[in-house]
Structure 1
Amino acid sequence: MTAPRSIWLIAFGTAAVVHLVLNGADLAPWASITKCLLAPLLAAWVVQQRGPRLLVVALAFCFLGDLFLEIEGMFILGMAAFAIAHISFITLFVQRGALDRLRANPLPLIGYVVAAIALVAWCWGGLEPGLKAPIPVYAALLVGTAAVSWSTDRLAGIGGALFLVSDGIIALGEAGRIDADATWTGLAIMALYSLAIYCLTTGIMARERRTVAAGTSFDPTIHTDCWPRVPSSQQ
Structure 2
Amino acid sequence: MSPGRRERHARVALVALGLVTVVDLICLVFGSGLGHALAKPLLMPLLAAHVGLRDGPRLLVAALLFGWGGDVLLLFDVDAAFLAGMSSFAAGHVCYLVLFKRHAFLGHDGENGAPRVRAAWPAAGYGVALVTTVALLWPDLPPELRVPVAGYSVLLTAMAYRATRLGLTAALGGALFMLSDTLIATGVAEWPQLPRPDFWIMATYIAAQLLLARGVLDAAGRAAPKALVAN
- Shorter-chain TM-score: what band? 0.7 to 0.9
User: Residues 35-54 of structure 1 correspond to what in structure 2 (within 5 A)?
Assistant: 35-54=40-59
Whole-Å separation in 2 of the counterparts to 1:203 and 1:214: 17
Q: Counting helix residues as a fraction of each chain, which structure ranks higher?
A: 2
Q: Percent identity?
A: 33
Residue 160 of structure 1 and its aligned partner are, at CA, apart by: 0.4
1:190 counterpart (202, 220, 223): 202
Contact 1:166 1:192 in 2 (8 A): yes
TM-score normalised by the chain length of structure 1? 0.85
Bigger RCO of structures 1 and 2 (CA < 8 A, at least 6 apart): 1
SS of the residue corresponding to residue 140 of structure 2 reads coil
In the alignment, which residue of structure 2 is the partner of 1:94?
101
User: Residues 40-119 of structure 1 correspond to what in structure 2 (within 5 A)?
Assistant: 40-73=45-78, 74-97=81-104, 101=108, 104=116, 105-119=119-133
Whole-Å separation in 2 of the counterparts to 1:19 and 1:201: 20
Whole-Å separation in 2 of the counterparts to 1:99 and 1:211: 11
Contact 2:103 2:216 in 1 (8 A): no
Residue 32 of structure 1 and its aligned partner are, at CA, apart by: 1.5
Report the RMSD for the aligned CA atoms in angstroms.
2.3
In the alignment, which residue of structure 1 is the partner of 2:217?
205
1:151 counterpart (165, 172, 189): 165
Contact 2:69 2:85 in 1 (8 A): yes
What residue identity is the alignment partner of 1:87? V
SS of the residue corresponding to residue 26 of structure 1 reads coil
Contact 2:105 2:219 in 1 (8 A): no
Whole-Å separation in 1 of the counterparts to 2:20 and 2:158: 28
SS of the residue corresponding to residue 133 of structure 1 reads helix
Whole-Å separation in 1 of the counterparts to 2:144 and 2:108: 36
SS of the residue corresponding to residue 6 of structure 1 reads helix
In the alignment, which residue of structure 1 is the partner of 2:137?
123
- Gaps (5+ residues) in structure 1? 221-235
2:152 counterpart (135, 138, 145): 138
Residue 178 of structure 1 and its aligned partner are, at CA, apart by: 2.1
Residue 106 of structure 1 and its aligned partner are, at CA, apart by: 2.1
Moved over 6 A (4+): none
Whole-Å separation in 1 of the counterparts to 2:11 and 2:219: 17
